Amino acid sequence: MYLTINPNSALDRVLFIEQFIPGGRMIPSKTIESVGGKGFDTAVVLRALELDTLTIGYVAGETGRTLAHLLERYGIRHDLIWVEGETRVALVIAETLHHRHSHIIYGSYTVPPEACDDFFTRFTHHVANAKWVIGAGSLPEGLPKDFYRRVIKIAAEHHVSVLIDCPGEPILQAIPAQPMIVKMNWQEFERTFQLSAATLQELADQAIRVRQAKQISNLVITCGEHGILALTSQGNFLALPPKQKAINAAGAGDAVSAALAWRLSLGDDWALALKWAAATGAAVVLTEGTADCRREDIDRLYPQTVIQELNGF
């Protein structure tokens, strides 16, 4: 099974409006509740691919109970750790006119030391049966900055590959433990490594230098409409899915994580795995729910997805 980790859970409340008007009165045409948090979103995509997945994460309060019910509705097996406080709510403002979305996030919880220890006890138990581990999302108050580094080291003892999708200090501490994949989006890359790239070319140049300096096995950067930049052990690639009119793009990056773990575990090379990942991310934007996708959309978009090898980098 695919083991996903979500330290900082969230419940997405998606509000569909024509466009956001500051100071104006806006009435949503529709509202829905979805699973939120990068690790949980990745599990949603894995289930859409009809793959066996187990997710571990922290939850709290009434919002946490709602989130747990949503996970069960998707058929996602979970091992949740309850803490004091309240699971975050992410208000996702989906503008139908502009095909874009924004987040407003509130709520929080603190993870006490005993709950941190509880996580690693459960993780050590489950990882022995995992094909891949995907650890994703920010760390809530109370978790140590070396949280993901510890995850990688435990997984390595069981010869399980790890993808980490997290910006900032937690990923900087995790990189020396050699995860199989380090993943983040363009803005997170700039913030993490204190860089600024005005163009995709500048981003690629900077990412290659960072990968070499940090000795990162495989570095994947999602770039929105510009595609997916991947600097890998098999070469440097840009994955370009066909452009879609987004209904709700939230969770598209998490779909990339899910698809990479899926295809690489099947033995695909990096170019083929990236083609599936880009198609899966593009399929997510066509649904109303966060990270929701349909297999028929993935299969339709896959032949239209282009993989460019970045020669000369």
What is the rounded average pLDDT for all residues in the chain?
96
Residue 48 has pLDDT above 60, yes or no: yes
- The mean per-residue pLDDT over the stretch 206-214 comes to 97
- The mean per-residue pLDDT over the stretch 281-288 comes to 96
Half-sphere exposure for 313 (CA within 13 Å, toward CB): 26
Residue 312 has pLDDT above 60, yes or no: no
What pLDDT, on a 0 to 100 scale, did the predictor assign at position 215?
A: 97
Residue 161 has pLDDT above 60, yes or no: yes
In CATH, which of 3.40.1190.20, 3.40.50.1980, 1.10.8.50, 3.40.50.300 is domain 2-309?
Answer: 3.40.1190.20
What pLDDT, on a 0 to 100 scale, did the predictor assign at position 273?
A: 98
Compute the distance between CA of residue 261 and CA of residue 165 in angstroms, rounded to an integer. 12
Give all strands (DSSP E) within the chain, no chain letters: 2-6, 10-17, 30-36, 53-59, 77-82, 88-95, 100-106, 132-136, 161-165, 181-185, 219-222, 228-232, 235-240, 306-309
What pLDDT, on a 0 to 100 scale, did the predictor assign at position 101?
A: 86
- The mean per-residue pLDDT over the stretch 95-113 comes to 93
What pLDDT, on a 0 to 100 scale, did the predictor assign at position 311?
A: 75
- The mean per-residue pLDDT over the stretch 99-117 comes to 94
**pLDDT tens digits, 233-272:** 999 999 999 999 999 999 999 999 999 999 999 999 999 9
Tell me the domain boundaries of the chain: 2-309
